[in-house]
Amino acid sequence: MLIAFSKSIANLLCTVWFGNSPAFQALSSDAVAYATDKWGASLEKRSADRFFEECADQILSQSANYFKVEFRKIDKDRLDVLLSDIAEAFKNFKLDGRFSAAGYSSEYLTRTIVDNLKLVDRKISAEVKLCENIVERISFYVCQYVQMAPNFVPVSLKQIVENQHEIKLVLDNVVKLTSPLDKDDPNFSGDSGRYLSDIRNSLRMIQIFGLSTHSIRRKYPLESSYISLTVSSQKMGDGFDSGQKVDNFLDDGLRFMVVGPAGSGKSTLLQWAALQCCETYEKSTIPRFSGLVPIFIRLRSQLEFSEKISVLDAAKRSNSNLFINFNEEWFRNKVEKGEALFLIDGIDEVPSNQRQSAAQWIDDLAGWASSCPVVVTTRPLSDEPIFETEFQYAHLENMSHDDIERFVSYWHRAVSSGLLDEEITKRLNSSREKLLAAISSISSLRALATNPLMCAVLCAINLDRNCV
């Protein structure tokens, strides 16, 4: 039965990947057969078939232990019937504009597949739950693969065969870096699970600006490139201690003010903190944030500050898509229990004549959410607003030479995850080594690369010059 699963998932992967290209116009009921026919030679057909089936097998093997537990809940004969129905539903999934409009959302795919199941007795809750759990897990990995895989164009159809190894490395990273939220954990079930899933989908990618190399993706996963910077931090009333990792600083306390110049990584830090809410306690780099409900507020998105602006109104102005069908009663309960996290970005970006009002608004928020962590970021200000809230302060430090080398390596690794062209991959590796050598030997260049923004600019300029 898992063979049927593998075939149907392979068909779905192929169909969705080719869906953005003109080749999809000719796709009929069997996407894999069509794609492999286009490659002509029988050896390439078999190779392409194996490639998609191996992708599907990887999805299934990643969930093998999970399936074993789920399968014990249903009689074996009935289980075979249900699995056959799920496989058929995946095989018959029709690609249309709604899936892409939903951002290749696993929630959309899960809902569509479950709604098309024929043999589930809706009155038998155990069967419905089993099918939902299995479909949800498979859909998660399918959508992660689709979001991370290279965007195919007609001229690159054959390259999927020629560059299988590189593409499989991309998919390996998907499995290593992401996993579905554990719905058996109450922190990741129900409304929490839906919201945290949306948070992860919304914040896990970072944009690359300034590249003219058309073969390279402009977005890459934050998980594969993030490094934890150091801070000089101050506990209540104490002096500053330097060299502490910022993730460790945020793991102890409730009120945090992170100060750093432009490009020092403040916004990325908040993005990373929100993603750590989506990880289990064991996997999160900021364990106390695990399972919390992160509310990300960009202060530059606010028109004004007054007691009339609710926290959710401010958050909606920052990212309205996260709050469609948002359960406000559930959120208030989370706040009362201390299970929310408020991430407030850029008090320096508020006009100077409104900063004190913004500070008062943050004070009011901290008073209302008295048991919840609040993290605020700002550039150094000569006219810093006065807060009633007692914050623990941390100043982001310049990147060390080791930090710079790790950033450059991680940045190039992340960029290479979307490549199909073997020649460009070689150039990218060469570009990375040249840049690392230059940074090590040229002190003025090393001085430029002491914050993440400038380091990324150097990577982009160097890559653009060496890979076009």
Lowest model confidence (mean pLDDT) among 23-37, 78-92, 149-163, 235-249: 23-37
The winner for highest mean pLDDT among 41-55, 127-141, 263-277, 416-430 is 263-277
- Measured between alpha carbons, how far is 286 from 223 in angstroms, rounded to an integer? 14
| 255-259/240-245 β-pairing | unpaired
**Residue 376 contacts residue 256 (beta carbons within 8 Å):** yes
pLDDT at 152: 46
- Residue given tokens 């910022």 in the structure block: 246
**What confidence category does residue 117 fall into, taking pLDDT thresholds of 50, 70 and 90?**
confident
For 251-279, write each residue's pLDDT tens digit: 988 999 999 998 888 999 999 999 999 88
Whole-number pLDDT of residue 282: 83
The CA angle 386-388-389, to the nearest 5 degrees, is 115
- For residue 132, what pLDDT is reported? 82
If you average pLDDT over residues 323-328, what whole number do you get? Answer: 80
For tokens 């950033």, name the residue: 407
Q: Which residue has the higher pLDDT, 464 or 20?
A: 464
Is residue 46's pLDDT more than 60?
no
Domains, the chain, ranges and CATH? 2-151+159-177 (no CATH), 226-396 (3.40.50.300)
At 154, is the pLDDT very low, low, confident or very high (cuts 50, 70, 90)? very low
What would the pLDDT profile of 220-243 be if each residue is shown by its tens digit?
777 767 888 899 987 655 666 778
Three-state SS string across the chain, please? CHHHHHHHHHHHHHHHHHCCCHHHHHCCCCHHHHHHHHHCCHHHHHHHHHHHHHHHHHHHHHCHHHHHHHHCCCCHHHHHHHHHHHHHHHHCCCCCHHHHHCCCCHHHHHHHHHHCCCCCCCCCHHHHHHHHHHHHHHHHHHHHHHHHCCCCCHHHCCHHHHCHHHHHHHHHHHHHHCCCCCCCCHHHCHHHHHHHHHHHHHHCEEECCCCCCCCCCCEEEHHHCCCCCEEEEECCCCCEEEEEEHHHHHCCCCEEEEECCCCCCHHHHHHHHHHHCCCCCCCCCCHHHCCCEEEEEEHHHCCCCCCCCCHHHHHHHHCHHHHCCCCHHHHHHHHHCCCEEEEEECHHHCCHHHHHHHHHHHHHHHHHCCCCCEEEEECCCCCCCCCCCCCEEEEECCCCHHHHHHHHHHHHHHHHCCCCCHHHHHHHHHHHHHHHHHHHHCHHHHHHCCCHHHHHHHHHHHHHHHHC
Joined together, the tokens standing for residue 459 give: 């990577």
Instruction: Tell me the percentage of the chain whose pLDDT exceeds 90.
Output: 22
What is the reported pLDDT for 153?
42
pLDDT at position 40 is: 44
Average pLDDT, rounded, for the chain = 75
What integer is the mean pLDDT of 45-71? 60
Does position 283 have pLDDT exceeding 70, yes or no? Answer: yes
Among 8-17, 268-277, 305-314, 318-327, name the most confident range. 268-277
Residue-wise pLDDT for 65-84, tens only, equals 566 666 676 777 777 777 78
Is the pLDDT score of 425 beyond 50? yes
Considering only 26-30, 315-319, 359-363, which range has the smallest mean pLDDT? 26-30
pLDDT computed for residue 382 by the predictor = 83
Q: Is the pLDDT at 301 greater than 90, yes or no?
A: no
* pLDDT (tens digit per residue) in 438-461: 999 998 888 888 888 888 888 888
Q: Looking at residues 418-424, what average pLDDT do you find? A: 59
Spatial contact of 355 and 382, defined as CB atoms under 8 Å apart: no
Using alpha carbons, list the distances in angstroms from residue 54 to 9, 33, 48, 167, 272: 10, 16, 10, 12, 32
Q: Which range, of 49-53, 103-107, 277-281, averages the lowest pLDDT?
A: 49-53
Supply the pTM of this predicted model. Answer: 0.66
Give 156-170 pLDDT, tens digit per residue: 445 444 545 555 555
